[in-house]
């Protein structure tokens, strides 16, 4: 995503019919919002504010705007895009895990009758998978 995409998302989130209303609702100077609309890349400080307003991962928004700020096709731009993609994937995984929390853990009542240790095995397996994903993202 880029600055204009985040600005459009902010308009939708705030149900604002214009950039002027984004300025009013979000407390971002009108001139700044206008500059974004006209192609200027938002600063890291505003990226954090916009991320918070949108309920997005701060690191993802900062990585996106830094990728936009870097020279197109440069190695730096590619690195920032990789970082943004990693945080986007991480956010999607967290959203998926959060939905699992609402469905609850698997029913293990039948395992208790057999004396099985299924709940602790389930937790250990998930911790190992999370550690593997974290290590893969760091590499």
Domain spans of the chain? 3-84
pLDDT tens digits, the chain, 139 residues: what are they?
999 999 999 999 999 999 999 999 999 999 999 999 999 999 999 999 999 999 999 999 999 999 999 888 888 888 888 888 887 776 666 555 555 555 454 555 555 555 554 444 445 555 666 666 766 666 6
The predicted pLDDT at position 121 comes to: 47
Alpha helices in the chain (DSSP H): 3-14, 19-26, 30-37, 44-54, 58-69, 75-103, 109-114, 118-138
Give this prediction's pTM.
0.62
d(CA 48, CA 33): 15
**Can you give the pLDDT at residue 79?**
87
């Amino acid at each position: 995503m880029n600055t204009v995409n985040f600005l459009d998302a902010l308009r939708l989130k705030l149900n604002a019919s214009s950039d002027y209303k984004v300025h009013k609702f979000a407390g971002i100077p009108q001139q700044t919002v206008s500059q974004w609309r006209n192609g200027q890349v938002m600063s890291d400080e505003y990226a954090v504010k916009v991320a918070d307003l949108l309920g997005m991962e701060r690191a993802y928004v900062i990585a996106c705007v830094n990728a936009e700020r870097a020279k197109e096709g440069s190695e730096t731009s590619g690195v920032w895009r990789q970082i943004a993609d990693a945080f986007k994937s991480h956010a999607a995984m967290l959203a998926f895990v959060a939905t699992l929390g609402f469905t609850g853990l698997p029913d293990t009542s039948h395992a208790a009758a057999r004396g099985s240790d299924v709940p602790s095995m389930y937790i250990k397996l998930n911790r190992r998978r999370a550690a593997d994903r974290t290590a893969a993202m760091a590499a």
